Structure 1
Amino acid sequence: MQTAPTYRQSGGDEPLISFIIADYNVPAELLRECLDSIFALSLSDGEREVIVVDDGSTESPLGDITNYLDKITYVRQRNQGLSAARNTGLRLAHGRFIQFVDGDDKLFRPAYEYCLDIIRFKDADIVLFDMTTKDNGGSLPDSADGSEGPMTGSHFMKHHNLRAAACGYIFRSSMRGNLSFHYGIMHEDEEFTPLLFLRAEKVYATKAIAYYYRQHHGSITHNNDKRSTVKRLNDTFGVLLTLQARIDTLPFNERSALQRRIDQLSADYIYNVITLTHDSRYLERCVARMQEHGLFPLPTTRYTRKYLYFSRMVNSKHGRKLLMAILFARRR
């Protein structure tokens, strides 16, 4: 891997938390806003490590962030995608905890401070928080103790819908082991997050809205041309196969937790096939492929009411045709 020189902040004791920022052609003002939100937190220089991984931007952002160079670790690599950028950050990180941040997003200080207090005082492995697409300053939970936990990661996955976005939680770096992001795929978080959660003994789930996520409809995840659509769907199916391959290696409680995630991701996959392709023949080929690998029919388990109704409908060919007609009518 070819990289430009790495600019590294001065060493010291093990930081409390490493912030890994993935940057690819992020406008300078947004990257500075991201960094400002991190340095505004009540963390001393020794508690905070900030790593900016420039994944082959057209122009290096160094000239735009000169005020931060003595406070951050900066590395530039050839463009390889978000997974590779995050993996580079993980290799460089020294913090006891990790927080991923996309370079054009930012943290909301009061709500994020609330999450930091949980890792400081409750010996958490993972702290979940909410994300928003509104730049409204975030919000704290209503109650004084507005977090649910501690619980194991498998318990959380068995009883909650897992939000896979890797930017949506703080996690203890030591429990990651050799787990990393799958190179070259879209929706890499869908693979990384559930496998990480299965390793957690103390998870706290909060209602703190602590992260501002900017949506980019021109990005690859919002690109609806045929090639991108097929890659997106194929990558999701690949994640399903990877997760399914882990099932038989797990104890019962962890197995049932991962099964729920597989079932719900399978439902998402079928929904996306319908909404992104509007092609009944392609849908039937995808369903046949799922059946070949034991992913179909979907279990009619009441994870949520929405999942239950959806699974009952898509498990029959007539139901799939009806659902496609309904969703196509809405699109028009």
Structure 2
Amino acid sequence: MPPLLSIVVPIFDVERYLHACLTSLTGQTLTDLEIVVVDDGSVDTGGDIARAWTRKDPRIRIVEQPNTGLSAARNTGVRAANGTYLAFCDGDDVVPEGAYAALVGSLEETGSDMVSGDVRRLDSGGVRPHPGYEDTFSRARRRTHIRRHTALVRDRMVWNKVFRRSFWDARKLTFSLPAYEDAPVMIRAHIEATAVDVLPEVVYLWRIREAGAPSITQRRDDPANLAACMRMVVDTFDVITAQARDLVPAYVEDMCHNDIQDAIRALHLHDETALGEVLSLARSFVARVPPDLIAALPAEDRRLMHLLHGGDLERARQLVDPPPSVTLAKESR
């Protein structure tokens, strides 16, 4: 019999964290599951760690491939998965033991196409709230939709969710971006779902790496990384404008207060030449926003968008605080 749930776990050089990840997955109170580990060309001992786990727990399978990136690794895992429901977990993160029971149980009760739950950040000091999710997961909502609960515009990550596999396949959902790959796919899933469940329970612990290579979200100040983020902003905007224009105001408000300002904030670290692609993509996004939505932004955000669009980058830089990395460096001197 196929398992009730398949969990796709791409791994690439996460040897320090993989044991904790697999411990959390094999320890789930929902036991009817398979764990599809996709070794995306790891050059550390992650593959060996995963193979040792297969000898302890037959629910774990390994698929190996040359390094082709997270999007391709996830797609490979989906093709290998057999479960009625589908979930994703990154190899450096942790899932609370009752998370999948709650998520799958909700879908079993409601018949919704997908379900999301709350997230916490994790490091050696413990767990802490993830900023921006307060409204999104403030209470349980059964058989809702992003058009009714527009705070779900901020629910753009794949790993705090479970999907009905038949829905995933029917909508032909796949990952394609080389980085920040979740958002366009997840927003499309939210829009195309007939109904979505929202749980206030914490279902995922997103690690802040304190050793080894930092994760992509911990390298936000790097120009190439920022450019990848801006491509995500634009691609996700394309999805929303094509499929759900009524969500444009909520998305614009979020981007203009957060990701677009991160691009401006990077001017404290890099010159305009280094940030050429970043700023070009950010300006192209702002240029496409209807003027009435820019006018409706809070005064500070509105002013920043006008300065960015007009090319007055020095004044824009003066209006934003430096990135946290700059502040921390100054405080440590």
TM-score (norm 1): 0.76
Post-superposition offset of 1:111: 4.5
Question: Per the alignment, do residues 175 and 309 of structure 1 end up closer, same or farther by CA in structure 2, a change over 3 Å counting?
Answer: farther
Post-superposition offset of 1:243: 3.4
Q: Distance in 2 between matches of 1:326 and 1:255?
A: 30
Which of 73, 94, 102 aligns to 2:61? It is 73
Question: Does residue 221 of structure 2 align to residue 201 of structure 1?
Answer: no
Tell me, what secondary structure is at the counterpart of 1:204? strand
Residue 314 (structure 1) aligns with:
304
Residue 124 (structure 1) aligns with:
112
Q: Distance in 1 between matches of 2:226 and 2:249?
A: 20
Question: Does residue 54 of structure 2 align to residue 54 of structure 1?
Answer: no
Question: Does residue 281 of structure 2 align to residue 289 of structure 1?
Answer: no
Q: Distance in 2 between matches of 1:258 and 1:314?
A: 19
Matches within 5 A, 1:252-271: 254-257=244-247, 260-262=250-252, 264-271=254-261
Post-superposition offset of 1:286: 5.4
Which of 141, 147, 155 aligns to 1:163? It is 155
Residue 134 (structure 2) aligns with:
none
Structure 2: runs of 5 or more not aligned? 130-137
Post-superposition offset of 1:216: 2.5
Q: Distance in 1 between matches of 2:25 and 2:91?
A: 11
Tell me, what secondary structure is at the counterpart of 2:154? coil
Post-superposition offset of 1:266: 4.9
Structure 1: runs of 5 or more not aligned? 1-11, 140-144
Q: Which amino acid aligns with 1:277?
A: L
Residue 31 (structure 1) aligns with:
18
Contact 1:52 1:72 (C-alpha < 8 Å) held by counterparts: yes
Residue 237 (structure 1) aligns with:
230
Q: Which amino acid aligns with 1:68?
A: T
TM-score (norm 2): 0.76
Tell me, what secondary structure is at the counterpart of 2:43? coil
Which of 169, 172, 177 aligns to 1:178? It is 172
Deviation per CA, 1:83-136: give whole Å up to 9, x if none: 111111111122222111111211111354333321232223222111112475
Deviation per CA, 1:195-237: give whole Å up to 9, x if none: 1111112212122112111112623332367xxx332333233
Percent sequence identity over aligned pairs: 22
Question: Per the alignment, do residues 106 and 121 of structure 1 end up closer, same or farther by CA in structure 2, a change over 3 Å counting?
Answer: same
Residue 220 (structure 1) aligns with:
216
Tell me, what secondary structure is at the counterpart of 1:127? strand
Matches within 5 A, 1:270-281: 270-278=260-268
Post-superposition offset of 1:154: 3.1
Post-superposition offset of 1:324: 2.5
